[in-house]
């Protein structure tokens, strides 16, 4: 990292798994230990990168159906996923680097072409199961992968900012709206709903957790918009039209 322009750390075991003790420990350690190792290495550099961008997660906020969560007025939640997020940020900001700006991106679900979270959603819609999940009222916050890159470049050039940024598009939707929009793009007229008890069974069979679709993530990128970042894909319609074309 000596003389590098920028350090970006997005490392961490996927949360798309069952939260047994082994997986929970790997999820936790893969984030905090990697961050610790990088920080210690930066401290040894004579010419460290001017900016260190470390991943965090929008899951740090509570389940929110009443109002959006911003950096200044968001409520930190509780539970395993939140404890991971808190420890992740603490391990990052525990370093007080004199020559390197530090930015933590509280990332919403990243949407892109050819994989990721859209694969199971597309499969559900394809097989007629693309209705709402749970109540359908839970909020869905996301970020287009191209905007994620745009945000990184924007923050690289803005040498006057640091700290925490919500990395999400400015127009979140409900789960019900999400599934309807995916069905529309895929030209599927209907989709059967999946109730919570069905999700509990299904996610256990798929070796994952229902929290990933049932938690209401209502996150607004207040700081990014205030600092002047212009989203290329501010709405879900534009995002889905691009990645599911």
Close Cβ partners of 8 (under 8 Å, ≥ 6 residues apart)? 53, 152
- Mean pLDDT of all residues in the chain? 93
User: Could you read off the pLDDT of 186-211 as tens digits, one per residue?
Assistant: 999 989 998 888 888 877 777 878 78
CA distances from 101 to 50, 55, 104 (A): 6, 14, 10
Which residues face 69 on adjacent strands?
A: 219
Distance CA 191, CA 129 (A): 5
The per-residue pLDDT for 114 is: 75
Q: How confident is the model at residue 31 (pLDDT cuts 50, 70, 90)?
A: very high
pLDDT tens readout for residues 85-96 = 999 999 999 999
pLDDT digits 0-9 by tens, 129-186: 889 999 999 999 999 999 999 999 999 999 999 999 999 999 999 999 999 999 999 9
- pLDDT of residue 244 exceeding 90: no
Distance CA(213)–CA(140), nearest Å, equals 9
User: Between residues 115 and 224, which one has the greater pLDDT?
Assistant: 224
CATH of 6-243, picked from 2.40.50.140, 3.30.300.30, 3.40.190.10, 3.40.50.720, is 3.40.50.720
Q: What is the model's pLDDT at position 121?
A: 78
């Amino acid at each position: 990292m000596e003389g590098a322009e920028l350090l970006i750390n997005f490392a961490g075991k996927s949360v798309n798994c069952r939260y047994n003790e082994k997986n929970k420990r790997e999820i936790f350690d893969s984030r905090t230990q990697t961050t610790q190792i990088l920080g210690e290495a930066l401290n040894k550099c004579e010419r460290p990168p001017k900016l260190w961008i470390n991943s965090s997660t929008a899951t740090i906020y509570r389940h929110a159906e009443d109002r959006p969560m911003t950096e200044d007025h968001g409520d930190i939640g509780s539970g395993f996923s939140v404890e991971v997020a808190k420890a992740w940020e603490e391990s990052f900001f525990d370093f007080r680097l004199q020559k390197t700006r530090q930015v933590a991106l509280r990332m919403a679900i990243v949407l892109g072409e050819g994989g990721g979270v859209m694969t199971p959603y597309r499969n559900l819609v394809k097989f007629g199961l693309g209705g709402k999940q749970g109540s359908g009222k839970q909020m869905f916050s996301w970020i287009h992968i191209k905007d994620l890159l745009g945000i990184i470049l924007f923050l690289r050039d803005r040498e006057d900012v640091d700290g925490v940024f919500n990395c999400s598009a400015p127009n979140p939707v409900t789960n019900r709206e999400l599934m309807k929009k995916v069905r529309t793009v895929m030209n599927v007229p209907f989709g059967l709903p999946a109730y919570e008890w069905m999700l509990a069974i299904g996610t256990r069979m798929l070796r994952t957790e229902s929290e990933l679709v049932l938690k209401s993530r209502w996150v607004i990128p207040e700081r990014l918009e205030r600092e002047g970042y212009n989203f290329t894909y501010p709405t879900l319609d534009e995002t889905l039209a691009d990645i599911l074309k």
